[in-house]
Amino acid sequence: MKIPPEKIKEIYVLMKRCRLFEERSIAELRKGMPGFLHSAIGQEAIPCAIAPFLQKEDYLLTTHRGHCDIIARGARFDRIMAELYAKESGYCRGLSGSMHIAALDLNILGAVGIVGSGIPVASGVALASKMKNERRVTVCYCGDGASCTGYFHEGLGFAAAFNLPVLFVLQNNQYEESTHWTYWGGRMKNLAERSRGYGVRGVSVDGNDAVAVAEVAVDLVKEVREGSGPVLLEGITYRIHGHHMGDPGTTYRDKAEIEEWRIQRDPVARLYARLLKESLITEEENRRMEEEISRELAEAVKFALASSEISPEEALRDTVYSGWPVALNKV
């Protein structure tokens, strides 16, 4: 379906929010923020072009590289930043960190650190929706690497068997850690082909063309909500940084390749150029928007730094089990 201009602009704003958040979180990491950071810079178009077509009650499961996925769904900068800084004001009270953030008030059910394991869980969430006769869509993000796991097979198999309302979105950023997907998947044209094995519809799009993603996503979300059963949407994209910020990402990729994706094929710049061309935005407006987002990010960092860490007593009280105390005797 054709996407109205105001939606395209909405997608652009979301992408900008994601990009600037990711840049700021990298800067914070360098200033001493704890943990691993898996940057999704370069992959913003996919989640931002899907989120505007979801309803508030729809579920989301994502991955260790999931900041953009949850920002696109409305997760707040300050509460993510606080979580990244292991503060109690974070979405998970500082107990999850970057890799496991869930924002339950937004039906963001969490990111998984074991690649692929969210896929069968997403099918279970959708199973519950179906059993309760809700018209909820579950969106499950995964990567190219996850499509190699048994989880992908079992999760799609379940969704197919029970005709579950799940939109599986494979963000093919081309590298599972350091290995290009064609190393193991070279017999396929793309990874959406994998869906055929389950009799599930698979669609592959240019994941760096936000409008192309949106044109497909708007229809797929509608179909899934109306009971079509699961669908696999692949967006082919590129991870500009290394696997995590400790990996320069240059030992297994040519500099020229990275530069091509970073500059010519950058999804944010591409959409901006289109908006300019179609007179949907002005340079001035763009600059003001950037400033506003940056201000919000500065506030978020301030909020995170000013927040306190959860006390050890509170962190371990009723968090391991619901209603069962745990022994706190190390010696």
Partner 1 sequence: MRELTYREAVREALREEMKRDETVFQLGEDIAKFGGAYKVTLGLSDEFGTDRMLNTPLAEAGIAGAAIGAAIAGLRPVAEIMYIDFSTLASDLIINFAAKYRFMTGGKIKLPLVIRTQGGGGVSAGPQHSQSLEAWYAHIPGLIVVMPSTPYDAKGLLKSSIRDDNPVLFIEHKGLYAYKGPVPEEDYLIPLGKAEIKREGKDLTVVAISRSVHMALEAAEVLKKEGIEVEVIDPMTIKPMDEETILRSVEKTGRLMIVHEACKTAGIGAEIAAFVAEKGIDFLDAPIRRVAALDVPIPFGLRLESLVLPQLKDIISCAREMVPLG
Strands, E assignment, the chain: 59-63, 108-112, 138-143, 166-172, 175-176, 179-180, 201-206, 231-236
Say if CB 172 and CB 216 are below 8 A apart.
no
Considering the complex, state which of residue 14 and residue 125 has its C-beta at the smaller distance from partner 1: 125
Question: Whole-number minimum distance, CB 314 to partner 1, in Å?
Answer: 9
Number of residues this chain uses to bind partner 1 (CB under 8 A): 49
Considering the complex, state which of residue 124 and residue 249 has its C-beta at the smaller distance from partner 1: 124
Handedness of CA 254, 30, 116, 124 (dihedral sign): negative
- What is the SS3 assignment for 241? coil
Considering the complex, state which of residue 273 and residue 320 has its C-beta at the smaller distance from partner 1: 320
Considering the complex, state which of residue 17 and residue 87 has its C-beta at the smaller distance from partner 1: 87
Q: How far apart are CA 122 and CA 325, in angstroms?
A: 30
Helix, strand, coil percentages for the chain (3-state, nearest 5):
50, 10, 40
Q: How far apart are CA 198 and CA 193, in angstroms?
A: 10
- What is the SS3 assignment for 5? helix
Query: Contact with partner 1 (CB under 8 A): which of 157, 247, 252, 309?
Result: 157
Question: Whole-number minimum distance, CB 297 to partner 1, in Å?
Answer: 23
- How far from chain centre, in Å, is Cα 267? 15
- Binding track, positions 295-324, relative to partner 1; x by CB under 8 A: ---------------x------xxxxxxxx
Q: Does residue 76 touch partner 1 according to CB under 8 A?
A: no
Considering the complex, state which of residue 52 and residue 97 has its C-beta at the smaller distance from partner 1: 97
Q: Does residue 326 touch partner 1 according to CB under 8 A?
A: yes
Span near partner 1 by CB under 8 A; candidates 21-29, 157-165, 214-222, 266-274: 157-165
- How far from chain centre, in Å, is Cα 148? 19
Query: Contact with partner 1 (CB under 8 A): which of 13, 106, 161, 188?
Result: 161
Q: How far apart are CA 115 and CA 179, in angstroms?
A: 15
Considering the complex, state which of residue 255 and residue 330 has its C-beta at the smaller distance from partner 1: 330
Question: Whole-number minimum distance, CB 192 to partner 1, in Å?
Answer: 21
Q: How far apart are CA 49 and CA 64, in angstroms?
A: 20
Query: Contact with partner 1 (CB under 8 A): which of 104, 273, 298, 306?
Result: 104
Query: Contact with partner 1 (CB under 8 A): which of 100, 201, 262, 265?
Result: 100
Q: Which of residues 113-152 bind partner 1 (CB under 8 A)?
A: 113-114, 117, 119-129, 131-132, 150-151
Q: How many CB atoms lie within 10 A of CB 289?
A: 16
Tokens 């924002």 belong to residue:
103
Considering the complex, state which of residue 109 and residue 216 has its C-beta at the smaller distance from partner 1: 109
Burial of 225: CB neighbours in 10 Å, binned 0-12, 13-18, 19+? middle
Considering the complex, state which of residue 129 and residue 204 has its C-beta at the smaller distance from partner 1: 129
Question: Whole-number minimum distance, CB 147 to partner 1, in Å?
Answer: 15
Q: Which two tokens stand for residue 111?
A: 């990111």
Say if CB 214 and CB 255 are below 8 A apart.
no
Which residues are near partner 1 by CB under 8 A? 59, 90-96, 100, 102, 104, 109-110, 112-114, 117, 119-129, 131-132, 150-151, 153-155, 157-158, 161-162, 310, 317-324, 326
